[in-house]
Chain A
Amino acid sequence: MKRRTFLATSALALGLAGTAFAQDKVKVGFIYVGPVNDGGWSQHHHESAMVMKEHFGDAIDLVEQESVPEGADTERALTQMALSGCDIVFATSFGFMDPTINVAKKFPKVKFEHATGYKRAENVSTYSARFYEGRAVQGLLAGRMTQSNVIGYIGSFPIPEVIRGIDSAFIHARKVNPDVQFKVVWANTWFDPAKEADAATALINQGADVILQHTDSTAPHAAAEKAGNVYTFGQAADMAEYAPKPRISSIIDNWAPYYIERVQAVIDGTWESTDTWGGIASGMVKIGEISDAVPAEIRDEALALEESISSGAYHPFTGPLNKQDGSVWLAEGEVADDGTLAGLNFYVEGLSGEVPK
């Protein structure tokens, strides 16, 4: 074959492929940081993706990749998805942020959606949930339920999302129980059941009788159950298999409506790069059922708080609030703006320890 004919043929072939591609079903890709059966974060993204798939039925193709490590492998997984013809790819972990931006540059026609990040581009949207609204309710329950006044908190990585959660939970625990202390342990992982169990055990050994977690497995619940009188909260998923004790409530992520909306936008050709931050009001954050282990009046108090956040009457970060060093953050009645919250990197007054750098 002469070079010219070859070029012409391949151009034709490419053109054909292009048309075929355009008529093709919309292909949606998902990558997850953990296995889709982790019982928490990744599982919930996966289940929301399944609801989305059910909604569209045969109108779309769905590809998923689980247990994608954050880092170089992320770029590989994303590139693979883009090359395989995905029209929109959801990257569902904070650590996928930079790889998503990098890959998005190479594939300007593919739409990317990054969960919980703060970097956007022409073809990269970000979406997140106001988990701190749920943390406020957890903090209230924790502050009311603790006997030892020591509350353990298993953090994953010191990123704004996690710090917001710690601050919000602490503010609302202190509000109902001025003697409460928080002990924070950083597990430096989203998902490592052995380490999460060890972290929970270490906290329990040091007197914590309520454990909040921002890691994805149910291992801390198992550790709490073994230890006896310790309460826990489901994270990302309901984790109802540990109810009514130790799990007394949970924060549930509900991504399905968002996924349906965004994929619909791709189908309609109306997709635009946006920044979505949904909370209890929009249904993206749900509070799991408060179990019978919680006395009725405390449950009512928690539900009232949930209601006031949902209606917009109350914002969990309302002044007066001081930073950890005692300097003023929010004056009386002042409400934190989203910009500050998105990059929140400090503890509020009363929390001990330092945010790791």
Chain B
Amino acid sequence: MDLSAIDPVILIASLMVASTPILLAATGELIVEKSGVLNLGVEGMMITGAICGFAASVQTGSPALGFLAAMVGGAALSMIFGLLTQVLMSNQVATGLALTLFGLGLSALIGQGYAGMKPPPTRPLDLGVLSDLPVIGKIVFSHDAMVYVSLALVALVWAFLRYTRAGLILRAVGESHEAAHALGYKVVRIRLMAIGFGGAMAGLGGAYLSLIRVPQWTEGMTAGAGWIALALVVFASWRPWRLLLGAYLFGGITVLQLNLQAAGVAVPAEFLSATPYLVTILVLVLMSADRSRAALHAPADLGKTFHASS
């Protein structure tokens, strides 16, 4: 056993990279759930984004266009969910699960012929002197642009929900769609926009996997990241900054596990891969133990179907 082999600075830096896909997807899902919609299709949208982004960037040679295509792909898939649940009022849980299965199949279909290819490389941002700072430089200023984009998006979502009128309306729709409807807000339209945003973010998270973190395309490459993102939203009790903390915690577990092994510490891998879910269950139990506080966090109308006539 040689724990000194693990350099905490490098560990934190690689943990940030490992966490970025779930952070992006979870930020999107946070907005969706805040609007009162439960979309369990995150995994499907992520993998669709992963292949759309991969295919686009291989064809065009531009990672930026790849990320854009991933957002479009994820959002397009989420619109199927939006149409089914918001317009045709199908059950959100069942539709979300179906979306995941559909996304996995669709991505495998699109991905035929892209296996084994290499995407155009995305280099870390050149931040000059900042990257040369001791410790901080390596942790904070040595990443690719998407890591900073994901952080900025968390901040934006936080500010949006807390300080803007639009954010207030979104939350109102999630808390009580009937009251929001009575006030004259277009509940279905607002929810569709939220779902589309969620899809785009999930797609972005998937593309981060296929374009930067792995980087290559293989079927089923998200390997459950979408489910972790879903668990993460609950873990964070629908708050953006806790989401960031949770993402680094959940993502960090994977990286830490491998680093511990390399350093010669035997940790059962099965236990660690179950940890995010265990922690989420624990948080759920703690939240529901205190009814009055739980009510403050979870959107009251989460997962309920809305129709203007009801």
Contacts and interface: CB of A to CB of B under 8 A. Distances in A.
B223 A194 contact: yes
Contacts of B10: 205
Contacts of B268: 356
A206 B259 contact: yes
Contact of B255 (A152, A202, A207, A241): A202
B131 interface: no
A186 B269 contact: yes
B295 interface: no
Given A37-B116, A38-B218, A205-B7, A354 B258 contact: no
Interface residues of A, number: 37
B137 interface: no
Interface in B131-149: none
B168 interface: no
Interface string A10-39: 000000000000000000000000010111
Contacts of A294: none
Interface stretch (B55-63, B79-87, B209-217, B301-309): B209-217
Contacts of A217: 216, 218
Interface in B249-280: 254-255, 258-259, 261-264, 266, 268-270
B221 to A, nearest CB: 5
A38 B18 CA distance: 22
B118 interface: yes
B176 interface: no
A235 interface: no
Contact of A35 (B115, B223, B269): B115
A202 B259 contact: yes
A353 B266 contact: yes
Interface in B1-33: 5-7, 10-11, 14, 18
B266 A356 contact: yes
Given A194-B209, A194-B221, A205-B7, A222 B118 contact: yes
Nearest to B113: A37
Contacts of B112: 37
A242 to B, nearest CB: 9
Contact of A197 (B213, B259, B261, B264): B213
A244 interface: no
Nearest to A237: B116
Contacts of A352: 264
A113 B249 CA distance: 44
Contact of B14 (A37, A205, A222): A205
Contact of A188 (B14, B118, B214, B270): B270
Given A206-B6, A207-B5, A356-B266, A198 B255 contact: yes
A256 interface: no
Interface string B215-231: 11011111101000000
A213 B45 CA distance: 31
Contacts of B223: 192, 194-195
B258 A198 contact: yes
A218 B115 CA distance: 10
Contacts of A39: 115-116, 218
B258 A185 contact: yes
Interface string A94-112: 0000000000000000000
B260 to A, nearest CB: 9
Contacts of B259: 202, 205-206
Interface of A: 35, 37-39, 67, 152, 183-188, 191-195, 197-199, 201-203, 205-208, 217-219, 222, 226, 241, 352-354, 356
21 contacts: A35-B220, A39-B218, A67-B219, A183-B5, A183-B263, A186-B269, A187-B258, A192-B223, A194-B209, A195-B258, A203-B262, A205-B7, A205-B11, A206-B259, A206-B262, A208-B262, A218-B216, A219-B216, A222-B216, A353-B261, A353-B266
Given A194-B223, A198-B255, A222-B216, 4 more contacts: A35-B108, A67-B220, A193-B216, A218-B216
Interface of B: 5-7, 10-11, 14, 18, 108, 112, 115-116, 118, 121, 209, 213-216, 218-223, 225, 254-255, 258-259, 261-264, 266, 268-270
